[in-house]
Structure formats: C-alpha cells, structure tokens
Amino acid sequence: MRAGLGLLGLLAAFAAAAPWLAALLGHDPFAPDLFNRFAPPSAAHPLGTDELGRDLLLRLAHGARVSLAVGLAAALAATLIGTLVGLLAAWRGGWLDAVLMRLADGLLALPALPLLVILAALDPAAVGLPRGEALADVLRLSLLLAAFGWVGVARLVRAGALSLLARDYVRAARALGVSEARLLWRHVLPGLAAPIAIATALAVGGAILAESALSFLGLGIAPPAPSWGNMLANAQELVFQAPLAALWPGLAILLAVLGCNLVADAISRGR
C-alpha cells in the first residue's frame, strides 16, 4: 500500500511541480529551440531535448498532468457509472438485472482497443465537442474510456451488493421501515467500499495504459500538448537518432500503472 501510494504521490508531485520546474530551468516546454535539437542530458536539460529542442524533463512533467488527469477522470466516471449500474442491477433484480449484465458481458467480450480506435477517430465536432484543444481531448478520452471501464466496476459492485442485500442486518433495517434509498446509501454502499476502491485503483491504471496506447497511435491527446503516449509516438519515429527519448515516458507510464496495481493489490489483501 505504502509503495503504491508513494509512487503515485511522487508522480502527482512531479506533475504539480511542472511550472516551478520550468521557472527553475528557465525553458518553455512548448517553444522550439532549433539550435539545441537532440541535446544530450546536461545541467540545463537534465534529460536532454527532443527533435525540436524542447526540454524532455519539462515535457514529461506536463505530460504527467495530462496522463494522470485522463486516468483519474476516466476512472472516477467509470466508478460512478459502474457503482450505479451494479447497485441497480443487484437491488432491482429480474429483467433489468438480466439486461444490464448481458450488456456488460457483451462489452467485456469485445476487443476494446480496435473499438476504441474507431471511436477515438470520430470527429468530435460532429457530436458537439470543440475540436483540437487539449482540455477537449482530455474530456473526450475520459468519456470514451469510462464508456468501457464501468463494466468491471459494475460486476464487482453487483456481486458484493447481492451478498449484502441478503444479510440479516439489511433485512432488519428493511423490517424497521427504512426507505429503499436510505437502505442502499447507508447500509449497502459502505459495505462495498473495499471492492469499489479496488476497482477504482485498477481502473485508473487501465485508463492510463489505454490513454497512452491511443495517444501513441495518434488518436488520443493531439500534439503540441504533451502526453506520455504521444511523446512515445514521437520517440518511435526517432529511434535511430535519440533512443533515450523512448525511455522516460514509458518508464513514467510503467510507474503510474504499477502504483495503481500495488494499491489495488494491497486493498484486496486487506493491508
């Protein structure tokens, strides 16, 4: 638990410190500096520069903001939808349960990435979202990833809620005349804290991985805004000139996802 939270805390601090780092080093991570292309690591550029002479450390910090924001937003949205669907399915039962769970099965059986590639290529303007701004990209990707991410949460919540709804204390609360809404909110939901926390932690990691894959394929966060995924896409084209540029963004993704998985693992072991 401590290792996972520590990793995530470090990355969050790194993301938060982006403007101070820029002030400290005295570079603009978005301004090209063509006399300093592919600069090796030095005091001025701790990780060197990319093909436009932009500082890699600063771009990594700004990428952390984008990648972590997408991961968190997508996971929170997926948790919200999944919890509602799971609770509803367990509480209502019957045909609604059957329809919702068949929908979840259907989504789970599909290969997510080919579908996401097609969905991410949709023209955002056609569904009324602004095009080409970093914030709009973050929002679009978070919604897309949440549309797939809720399934795992919903299944865990439904299974947990079904077992809680059959407990004596829940039946006692019902017998005392507690309203159904209060029953779910006060008596069932708190008992689901652990599975929901596990599902959320896993969803954050999954969303960070999926965002980086989509950005890597050129369908996620559009340059010049940096994300760990599109920095890697850039690095792939320059494997021969600057192999080191491929190292750092991938390491950042690895650490972020590892942190999330460690937290989920620790909760599920009850530590």
Partner 1 sequence: MIRLLAARLGQIALVTALLSFAAFLLIGLMPGDPIEIAIAGDPRLSSEDAARLRALHGLDQPLWARYLAWAGGVLEGRFGHSRLFALPVAALLWPALIGTLELLGLALLVAGVCGVALGALAALRPRLGPLVQGFALFAQAVPAFWLGMLLIILFAVHLGWLPAGGSEGGWRALVLPVATLAFANLAAYARHGAAALSAALEEPHIRTARAKGAGERRVLLRHALPNAAVPLLTVAALDAGALVSGALIAETVFARPGMGKLIYDAVMGSDFNLALIALLVVAVVTMLATLAADLAQRWLDPRIA
Residues that bind partner 1 in the complex, under the rule CB under 8 A: 102, 105-106, 108-115, 117-119, 121-123, 126-127, 205, 209, 212-213, 216-219, 232, 235-236, 239-240, 243, 246-247, 249-250, 253-255, 257-258, 261-262, 265
17 vs 99 by CB, closer to partner 1:
99
Q: How far is the CB of 110 from partner 1 (least distance, A)?
A: 5
16 vs 247 by CB, closer to partner 1:
247
46 vs 124 by CB, closer to partner 1:
124
Q: How far is the CB of 104 from partner 1 (least distance, A)?
A: 12
72 vs 217 by CB, closer to partner 1:
217
Q: How far is the CB of 95 from partner 1 (least distance, A)?
A: 16
Chain center to CA of 223: 19
Q: How far is the CB of 144 from partner 1 (least distance, A)?
A: 11
Q: How far is the CB of 33 from partner 1 (least distance, A)?
A: 25
Q: How far is the CB of 172 from partner 1 (least distance, A)?
A: 33
3-class SS string, the chain: CHHHHHHHHHHHHHHHCHHHHHHHHCCCCCCCCHHHCCCCCCCCCCCCECCCCCEHHHHHHHHHHHHHHHHHHHHHHHHHHHHHHHHHHHHHCHHHHHHHHHHHHHHHHCCHHHHHHHHHCCCHHHHCCCCCCHHHHHHHHHHHHHHHHHHHHHHHHHHHHHHHHCCHHHHHHHHCCCCHHHHHHHHHHHHHHHHHHHHHHHHHHHHHHHHHHHHHCCCCCCCCCCCHHHHHHHHHHCCCCCHHHHHHHHHHHHHHHHHHHHHHHHHHCCC
41 vs 243 by CB, closer to partner 1:
243
27 vs 220 by CB, closer to partner 1:
220
